[in-house]
């Protein structure tokens, strides 16, 4: 598990690798984290019809702001992969515009107890992030720089 430990960014590690999409930047939380995200959040922006995250490559709808969730206490995480590449990801309970592919693995997982598979855009096939799953739950961790804000 040593390799896994090394792959996880130190607690509290935050920097401005990627500009937050407007949907998130409008409601900054502590240390730039996404605000408390609970299903059923009635904030005005989130209820605006058509608000959504889209693929920056093809414009396909990827996920709804309504499905943002917090995992391990934060909605946005910065993680480094074993090659040292840092990704800023945002957690979603579902992402209908993505499909998981490949075999799931726990190797180098960023969320202990969860295995992962790559998640790709249904529109263009680009990798948008990862799907994490445990015995009882699952969620998507999507790369923020691959998401843009779409909708009316």
Q: Does 98 bind Zn ion (CB under 5 A)?
A: no
Q: Does 123 bind Zn ion (CB under 5 A)?
A: yes
CB of 139 to Zn ion, least distance (A): 20
Choosing from 107, 112, 124, 137, the residue that interacts with Zn ion (CB under 5 A) is: 124
CB of 13 to Zn ion, least distance (A): 29
Strand 115-121 relative to strand 127-133: parallel, antiparallel, unpaired?
antiparallel
Cα of first residue to Cα of last residue in the chain, in angstroms, is 46
137, 9 Cβ separation under 8 angstroms: no
Please choose, from the candidates 111, 79, 84, the residue with its C-alpha nearest in 3D space to the C-alpha of residue 15.
Answer: 79
59, 150 Cβ separation under 8 angstroms: yes
* Residue closer to Zn ion (CB basis): 58 or 118: 58
For Zn ion, which stretch binds (CB under 5 A), given 32-40, 103-111, 118-126, 132-140?
118-126
35, 29 Cβ separation under 8 angstroms: yes
* Residue closer to Zn ion (CB basis): 61 or 109: 61
Choosing from 55, 74, 143, 147, the residue that interacts with Zn ion (CB under 5 A) is: 55
Choosing from 74, 121, 144, 147, the residue that interacts with Zn ion (CB under 5 A) is: 121
Other CB atoms closer than 10 Å to residue 9's CB: what's the count?
15
Per DSSP, 71 falls in state: B
Residues that bind Zn ion (CB under 5 A): 55, 57-58, 60, 121, 123-124
């Amino acid at each position: 598990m040593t390799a896994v430990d090394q792959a996880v960014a130190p607690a509290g590690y935050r920097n401005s690798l990627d500009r937050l999409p407007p949907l998130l930047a409008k409601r900054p939380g502590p240390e730039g984290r996404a605000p408390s995200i609970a299903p059923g959040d009635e904030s005005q922006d989130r209820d605006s019809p058509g608000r959504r995250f889209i693929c920056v490559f093809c414009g396909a709808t990827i996920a709804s702001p309504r499905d943002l969730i917090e995992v391990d206490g934060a909605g946005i995480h910065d993680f480094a992969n074993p090659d040292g590449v840092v990704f800023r990801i945002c957690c979603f309970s579902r992402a209908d515009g993505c499909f998981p592919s490949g075999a799931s693995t726990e190797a180098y997982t960023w969320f202990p107890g969860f295995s992962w598979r790559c998640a790709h855009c249904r529109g263009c096939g680009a990798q948008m992030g990862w799907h994490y799953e445990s015995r009882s739950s699952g969620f998507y961790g999507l790369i923020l720089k691959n998401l843009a804000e779409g909708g009316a």
